[in-house]
Structure 1
């Protein structure tokens, strides 16, 4: 109870400080006010502390009598309430130590907040609700709250939420007229294969996307299992007649597509030195593979690739246009094809990768960079644009400037397609045309990276078939950035010169 009075101490010597601003003339009963956790706050008002005499004075809310005591001693608070107002004191004690029922609004509110905000939203472990620190925290929040058990969480609350969510999904897809699906299949660090199916639709002029299925795929012969899982999901939501497109990663696994997508010269960045174990947590950040996985990366993705191909063959046998390749995947394959052939910028990139690796592996170098407020971005083996961002921080040389200039729109298109709640189909054609025309303009200006420019043009034409002239509608597309719009306008002017009659 000594901590109750510690809050009222002041640094101003000899002054009298009014702790409570509640008027002494109040006629409200303690039972009608909010429940307080201490007798001082529950039964007294006009609390004043005198630092010179080290004493305090307070007015009882019930009988209006003055109660005095020594600073740091709170027994007088409790003694007066017990002796002169026993019924009110006992009622307060009962309320203070009582618990909410399972259907009490406050109990339901706190329980819902724990489940939805802490466990589901933040991804905290289920064991959180049984830890002593969390139980103490919730008691401080509200002593009357009854902590839920893990058994109740897993057997009652989660199944109820899942059923409610499933009902909401079925209601949503019943309202949709046309639905597009995106299918993805990948392996985790333990080489377990997972299947995900997401549905996309526009309802009331609002773009919506929800996951229909996310589950592991077991067994050696995975193609039939994948097909059965797909068919079961489609039948469960009764959307077979509403499907218009199925977007996949070009019949390949994400890891198979991106694990080799390393900018030439950055190989040494992802190679471990003898002392790299000290920085293993940094190297694993954002990656989907471990050092042990490298031994079997060449086998599992190929197996998964065959599974996806066998799965897609019977689905698209009647309508080849039903399945479309993923735009983000295809544009990264263009980068991969171009960088695999071109070697003009590799020496400069090797120097950058070594400098970047040193900045992330040496504590001394990292501290010096922080002192001058310089940050070198992390490069991710599975995302080429993270390596592009790293090069973008070192653009002091013309060679690297040309490299960054050639890949600027590629990086922008890759980033834009990752945006949430945006129908990315509207940016595909304009962005491809902008990239194509930008490469044509760059080809006439670059001096050191001309081979890279040509190596990017060739796979862009082969993968996307860019052979149509520019129209006028793409130039005003609101989804494009000012950079892309400028490139389109410049390209249009260059492609259609005005000739006098």
Structure 2
């Protein structure tokens, strides 16, 4: 109950819960809060932690996301989540939710991240660290930890929408008017009751207006969509309400429809990239191209809508267009058997990615050949006075092996060409299933697929950690210590992971 349902530790002291427990089983003795906090919780945490540590120890590559958050009690926390491929499945696990003391300098952030990475023995296994574009966290990752940093694509999409809206003042005014209408209804029980009754009279579904969070554009989209859905009952009662806010005119309603129509593909892309149970970095390149195509083909009815559309296309290309040439994105896309080279809009980027992968496969083959040559004992001398029926074939096989070992670059090129000639996997299928079946056919590419397909496209996993933390640190638990919060979130997130 404490970890799954995020109940406060103090629940064992609540009179109602104590009585409820006695009714269920009079002979059961509830643990007190001290035992629960100091004995039971740490025991379970250490048990699960040991199992997760074993999983992280046997995988070769992991990617991590990280983010920072400040609670209502003004405590700052740093979250770290890990992502890796195990038994052809994506595994996501929370590593730490650590309270950060002092200023949020890049040095302090780097120090805490290094402690977490070393605690889990994963520092040398990290492929990339995904976070937002905050200058302090980027500097901590790139300059101080000398790790590859990848910006959160969801965060960048959010910035694209904000930039596009700011460029069209009429849309900003429209959002402000919609926000004022929603705020009015949320603070007026009379207005809420009136719109509810009007919806009953009209025989339509009863819907409440939704308030947005200005820092999250998709919540603004939800607010606008809801206003569109309640347009008729809203229009019927607004003039009869005291001190009602300014209402939308006909042209503003058309602009509102353009707004919701235009940004639906952006919302769909954000949702697609925010998953944790399937590879997401490989989706970035095809989804950016798909977003551009979807937005370009949206039909706008207003001048403001056309201006918003043009601006959105421009800012998406400026902020996201370069990701097609980003090595992490490009390799991940190439190694997704649903996309390969066809997802690239620019053939130059696709060819560059082929070269990068040939180089990496070549390096892996050389390493393996070196390992084989140093570990393989010399063959015992064989009496050649007797000729075997298999001697000729054995000689030819040995020659073929020598050619492959002496030309790893050729072997790498052949492997890439054969992979590209394979049929595309259906888009609804899991690409990890393909690689599980093909690991003996393309051994080096299989190794690289586990390296690049484990990278999350966003830092949303860390954001989800803070959503849970917000539920835990409330008025009933505002004195909860940082280490206990870490344990509860860790168990809440990791108890159901396969193998843990």
User: Residue 95 of structure 2 is aligned with which of 199, 205, 212?
Assistant: 212
Greater strand share, 1 or 2?
1
**Separation in 2 of the partners of 1:158 and 1:186?**
24
CA contact (8 A) 1:130 1:150 kept: yes
Deviation at 1:468, TM superposition (A): 7.4
Q: Structure 1, unaligned stretches of length 5 or more?
A: 1-117, 253-304, 481-501
Deviation at 1:360, TM superposition (A): 0.9
CA contact (8 A) 1:234 1:240 kept: yes
Q: Structure 2, unaligned stretches of length 5 or more?
A: 200-205, 232-252, 326-338, 345-423, 431-500
User: Residue 337 of structure 1 is aligned with which of 163, 172, 175?
Assistant: 163
Deviation at 1:128, TM superposition (A): 1.4
**Separation in 1 of the partners of 2:177 and 2:47?**
55
**Separation in 2 of the partners of 1:249 and 1:146?**
47
**Separation in 1 of the partners of 2:429 and 2:166?**
30
Larger Rg: 1
- 1:272 — aligned with what? none
SS at 2:169 equivalent: coil
Matched, 1:314 2:143: yes
Greater helix share, 1 or 2?
2
- 2:305 — aligned with what? 449
- After superposition, the C-alpha distances for 1:297-335 in whole angstroms (9 at most, x for unaligned) are xxxxxxxx4x32441242465x6xx21101111111111
- 2:78 — aligned with what? 195
Taking the TM superposition and a 5 Å limit, the aligned residue runs for 1:36-115 are none
- 2:257 — aligned with what? 401
CA contact (8 A) 2:254 2:301 kept: no
- 1:379 — aligned with what? 212
**Separation in 2 of the partners of 1:328 and 1:311?**
21
- After superposition, the C-alpha distances for 1:163-208 in whole angstroms (9 at most, x for unaligned) are 1121011011112221001011232334432111110011111111
Matched, 1:465 2:318: no
Alpha carbons of structure 1 residues 217 and 412: separation in structure 2 relative to 1, 3 Å:
same
- After superposition, the C-alpha distances for 1:192-244 in whole angstroms (9 at most, x for unaligned) are 32111110011111111111111111123743332222112222222223211
TM-score (norm 2): 0.56
User: Residue 291 of structure 2 is aligned with which of 420, 428, 435?
Assistant: 435
Q: CA RMSD in A?
A: 2.8
CA contact (8 A) 1:248 1:324 kept: yes
CA contact (8 A) 1:183 1:198 kept: yes
Matched, 1:143 2:15: no
Higher RCO by CA contacts (8 Å cutoff, separation 6 or greater): 2
Alpha carbons of structure 1 residues 458 and 405: separation in structure 2 relative to 1, 3 Å:
same
Alpha carbons of structure 1 residues 151 and 444: separation in structure 2 relative to 1, 3 Å:
closer
Aligned residues: 306
Alpha carbons of structure 1 residues 426 and 447: separation in structure 2 relative to 1, 3 Å:
same
